[in-house]
A = this chain, B = another copy of it.
Amino acid sequence: MNKIVVIGMGLIGGSLGMTIKNKDLAKKVVGVSRNIDHLKEAKAKEALDDFSVDPIEVCKDADLVFVCTPIASIVPMIKTISSVLRPGCIVTDVGSSKSQIVSEAEDAMPEGVFFVGGHPMAGSERSGIKAATKYLFEGTNYILTQTPKTSGEALKKLADFIEKLDVKLSIMSPEKHDLAVAAISHMPLAVAVSLVNAIGGLGQEKESCLRLASSGFRDTTRVASGNVEMGRDMFVTNKKAVLEMIGNFKRSVEDLEFSIKEGDVSKITDRLERAKKMRDDIYGS
């Protein structure tokens, strides 16, 4: 790659720049942000060679553009830059839900310019350029999306590049991606938030509950302490898949609830064993 533009200098954009520079994967990395302080900090952290507050100007001769803005700004930003991109340019994003973004971004691409949706599943309790590191992506999952409109050549070129970030790359449809992240990321958040709020609604019993809260409660609800805006965006932008998974989850809760109500010890045991086996298969026992 000759020139890579990274738009948005937060945790993900900054870490991408640092990783690309550290591994020497492009001749030039240009960072874009509306905030000049973030750009200066990114420069000091060696996340970029050059920077600008004007995405249109710097995208003109880019080979690859990463759109790393907050999720609600991804499509508007892509529409802003699309008309100046030169043929052969690949545009990708880092949004945590994909169906809607990919569909709108594909429609916004001019002839000969390619969009491939992306989602690096890396994060940190901290956010912003200050938290950026060249190790953020190491060993994490990175998803690229493929649709009937995706250019096979552009996908292969981007996939080859992404793999150099030392990530575990998966390629799947936007719909499959959205259901998967709803299941393993957005639903756990919905559940953790609901667990905490169920206790919040207890009234005078609340205090004795909280005093006794131990490691089980702490871990089960950890994600409820995450960034509120990010959580809100997950639920808003991935609505369809999140609602589908909440429906599945509620059926699963009601199945267990029924077996407890009936005092059906063998069914309770079966549900516990099934969950333990499946989880132990993933993480080891």
Main secondary structure of the interface of A (DSSP, over half): helix
Given contacts A193-B272, A194-B249, A260-B242, contact A212 B184 (CB under 8 A): yes
Residues of A participating in the B interface, judged by any CB pair closer than 8 Å: 121, 140-141, 143, 170, 172, 176, 179-181, 183-185, 187-202, 205, 208-214, 216-226, 228, 231-232, 235-236, 239, 242-243, 245-246, 248-257, 260-261, 263, 265, 268-269, 271-276, 278-280, 282-283, 285
A261 close to B280 (CB less than 8 A): no
Interchain CB contact (< 8 A) of A279 among B224, B232, B263, B273: B224
Closest to A173 in B: B208
Chain B residues positioned under 8 Å from A190 (CB to CB): 253, 256-257, 260
The CB with the most chain B CB atoms within 10 A, among A140, A184, A261, A271, is that of: A184
Q: Which of B140, B196, B219, B275 contacts A197 (CB 8 A)?
A: B275
Determine how close the nearest CB of chain B comes to the CB of A170; give it in whole angstroms.
Answer: 7
Please give the distance in Å from A123's CB to the nearest CB on chain B: 8
Partner of A205, one of B179, B213, B214, B255: B179
Query: Which of these, B243, B260, B283, contacts A257 with CB under 8 Å?
Result: B243
